[in-house]
Structure 1
Amino acid sequence: MAPKLRDSVEELRAAGNLSFRNGQFAEAATLYSRALRMLQAQGSSDPEKESVLYSNRAACHLKDGNCIDCIKDCTSALALVPFGMKPLLRRASAYEALEKYTLAYMDYLTVLQIDDSVTSALEGSSSWKPLCDPACLSRMTRALMDSFGPDWRQKLPSIPLVPVSAQKRWECLPSENCKETAKSKSKETTATKSRVPSAGDVERARVLKEEGNELVKKGNHKQAIEKYNESLWFSNLESATYSNRALCHLVLKQYKEAVKDCTEALRLDGKNVKAFYRRAQAYKALKDYKSSFADINSLLQIEPRNGPAQKLRQEVNRSLN
C-alpha cells in the first residue's frame, strides 16, 4: 500500500513532530522543510506559523549537531517573530557549542528578560544544559574574561530590551503537548521561586546591582538595566534591584515595564517607598490616575511628610478631577 501523501502544512508539521518524538531528526527536518516550502508557495502571510517551522527545524539541526544551520533557522524564526523563547534558547545552545560565548551569553540573558523563571531548556536533551545553572554562564564568563579582560562586560554589545508583550510567550516544542508544557512550566516557576540563592550568588548579585547603580549615576540607563538583569539572575530576592530597574524604565518611558518591576519590588518589600512612588509615576504616565492615586496614598501612610509624593498627589488629583 502506497504511503499517504500529505497535502497540507498542518499534516507535514504533525508528521515532522512525530518523527522528532521518535528520534528521527533528519526525517523531521525534511518534513518541516516541505511544510515551509508549501507555506511560502501559498503566498499567505502567517509569520507565527512560519517561525515555528523554522524553530522546529532548528531543533532537529541542534539534535544532529548541525549548529550552523540551527543558528540560521533560529535567526529566520526570530526575524519573523522577535523574542521567540525557543529559537533564542536553541541559538544560544548552538553558539555555546561553537564556543561563540559572547553571542550565547547575549541570547541567554535575552531569554532571562523574557522569563526569569526558566531553569532549563525544555527539550530535555542531555546536550542542553540548565539555563539557570551558574556553571553554564560562569563558563562563558570565564571565556569572556579571558578574551576581553576584567572589564569584559563593558565591551559587550547592548542586550536587546524585551517588551512586555514578548514576556511569558511559549510555543509547543515538537515533542510536547501544549498542556503538558504549561504544566511543566508551572512546576519550574514554583521551583525557581522557592530556590534559595547561595551566599556566592547573593554577593555576585550585590556587586552587579552596585555596578548598575553607578551606570544610573552616569545617565546610562540602558546598560544599567542590563546590570540589574544580571543581578536578578543570580538572586531575585532583592526589592531594591527591581525598584532601581523601574527607575531606568521610567527614564526610558517604558512605563508598563516600570509598573511590573515596582509590583515585584513591593511583593518582596511592602514598604518600599521608592517602588510606590515610581509605580505611581508610571501609572500617571499611563493615565491610570486611580491606581496612581492609590499608590501615593499608600506611600504617604508610610512617610506622611514625603514632599515629592505630596506634590505628585496634587498633580494626579487635578487629573482625576
Structure 2
Amino acid sequence: MAPKSKSQSWSALKQSGNDCFKTGQYGEATIFYSQAIKELEKAAQKNPEDLGILYSNRAASYLKDGNCSECVKDCTTSLELYPFNVKSLLRRASAYEGLERYRLAYVDYKTALQVDCNIAAAHDGTNRMTKALTEIDGPSWREKLPPIPTVPMSVRERLNQQPASPQLSNNKTNTPGPGPSEKDRKKALTLKDEGNALVKKGEYRKAIDKYSQSIQLNPNEITTYTNRALCFLSLKQHREAVKDCDQAINMDSANIKALYRRAQAHRELQNPKSCIDDLNSLLKIEPKNGAALKLLQDVQKK
C-alpha cells in the first residue's frame, strides 16, 4: 500500500524505500523513493547530492525489477546532480549491459575505475565488455567507443575520502546494491551459453531449462529472454514466447528480436492486429528489415 507522502519527510520516505528494498519489495521501494524525490524537490533548501542519491536508489529498484531503460534514466539524472557517483555509474553500466549497449556500459565501468581503481565489479564489467565488443566490432572496437570522461583529481580525492561504498564490499547495508552479484552474473552467463549451445543442437527443452536457471540468477539480461522466446516458438508454446518478449520489450522497447519474435507468436495465436502492431514498431526502428517486411506482407494478405 502506497504511503501518504505529506505525512512523512523525504528522509523517512527514503528509509522506508531502503527497508522495502532489503526485503525484495522493489515495486514498493520505487514508490517510496518516488515520493521522497517529490518531497525533496519541493523543499526550500535541498542538497543536490541528496537528490542524486534518491534517484540512484530508485534506479537500483528499477534494475532489480528488470526495467533497465528507467534505471538508465534515473542514473543519468543522478549523475547530473551528483557527478561521478560510483553507485550510479555501476548501476547504469549494469543496465546498459542488460540493454546490450556494450559501448556505453564500457565507458561507465571505466569511469568508475578512475574514481576507485580497486572496484572488482568495474574490472569484471570492463573485461566482459571488452570480450563482447571484440566479438561485435573486431580488433578495432576501441575506435567506435564514445569519449570516456576524465574524472577531475579534486573529485577523485573527495569521493575517495568518503566512507567505502557499501555496495562494493561484502558488508550488509540498507542501501540498494547494483544488481546481481558478480558470482551470480558469471554463473548466469555460463548457463546462457550452455543454453545457446543446446539451441544449436535443436534441444530446445533443455535450452529452456538453462535459460530459466540463468534468469533466476540475473533477471536483467535481455538476450536470455529473447533466446528462450525462440525456444518457445520452436516448441509452439506461443503464449510463453509472448511473455518472454513482453519482458524484453519492457526492458528495451526498441529490441528488434523481441518485437519480431512476439509478432511471430501473435501470428500463430491468430492475433493479426497485435502481430502487425509489433511489425510496424519494428519497422520504425529498422525500415529495411527484410524478415519483418516479409512477415508483414504475409499477415496482411491473410
TM-score by length of 2: 0.50
Over residues 249-306 of structure 1, what are the superposed CA-to-partner deviations in whole Å (9 max), with x where a residue is unaligned? Answer: xxxxxxxxxxxxxxxxxxxxxxxxxxxxxxxxxxxxxxxxxxxxxxxxxxxxxxxxxx
Higher relative contact order (CA 8 A, sep 6+): 2
Amino acid at match of 1:154: E
Check conservation: 2:79, 2:88, Cα contact below 8 A. yes
Question: Which secondary structure state, in structure 2, belongs to the residue aligned with residue 117 of structure 1?
Answer: coil
Shift of 1:17: 0.9
Report the alpha carbon displacement of residue 165 of structure 1 after superposing the two structures with TM: 2.7
Counterpart Cα distance in 2 of 1:45 and 1:8: 13
For 1:23, the equivalent position in structure 2 comes to 24
Bigger CA drift: 149-158 or 7-16? 149-158
Q: Measure the CA separation in 2 of the matches of 1:116 and 1:78.
A: 19
CA contact (8 A) 2:109 2:123 kept: no
Output the CA distance in 2 between the equivalents of 1:70 and 1:132: 21
Distance 1:4-1:103 versus aligned 2 partners, 3 A rule? closer
1:152 paired residue among 126, 141, 144: 141
What SS does structure 2 have at the residue aligned with 1:83? coil
Distance 1:138 1:16 in 2: 33
- Rounded to whole Å, the distance in 2 between the matches of 1:12 and 1:177 is 13
- The aligned counterpart of 2:71 is 70
Whether 2:173 is the aligned partner of 1:176: answer yes
Gaps of 5+ in 1: 121-130, 182-321
Secondary structure at the aligned position of 2:119 is classed as coil
Structure 2 distance, partners of 1:95, 1:141, is 14
For residues 1-321 of structure 1, what are the structure 2 equivalents within 5 Å?
6-120=7-121, 131-133=122-124, 136-167=125-156, 168=160, 169=162, 176=173
Per-residue deviation, residues 89-124 of structure 1 (Å, max 9, x unmatched): 00000000111100000000001111011113xxxx
Deviation at 1:171, TM superposition (A): 5.3
- Deviation of the 1:177 alpha carbon: 5.9
Q: Indicate if the aligned counterparts of 2:19 and 2:174 stay in contact, CA closer than 8 A.
A: no
The SS at the match of 1:161 is: coil
SS at match of 1:45: coil
Which amino acid letter does the alignment assign opposite residue 32 of structure 1? Y
Question: Match of 2:123, as an amino acid?
Answer: C
Does the C-alpha gap of structure 1 residues 4 and 53 become closer, same or farther in structure 2, counting only changes over 3 Å? closer
User: What is the identity percentage for the equivalent residue pairs of Structure 1 and Structure 2?
Assistant: 49
Is the radius of gyration larger for structure 1 or structure 2? 1
Partner SS for 2:59 = helix
Residue deviations 1:11-69 (CA, integer Å, cap 9, x gap): 10111111111111110110000010011112433101100000000000011111000
Q: 1: distance between equivalents of 2:79 and 2:53?
A: 10
8 A Cα contact 2:104 2:146, kept in partner:
no
User: 1:71 corresponds to which letter in structure 2?
Assistant: V
Measure the CA separation in 2 of the matches of 1:52 and 1:138. 27
Greater CA deviation, 33-42 or 139-148? 139-148
Q: Which amino acid aligns with 1:112?
A: L
Structure 2 unaligned runs (5+)?
178-302
CA separation of 1:111 and 1:153: change in aligned 2, threshold 3 A? same
How many Å separate the matches in 2 of 1:19 and 1:62? Answer: 15
Q: Deviations over 1:217-255 (max 9, x none)?
A: xxxxxxxxxxxxxxxxxxxxxxxxxxxxxxxxxxxxxxx
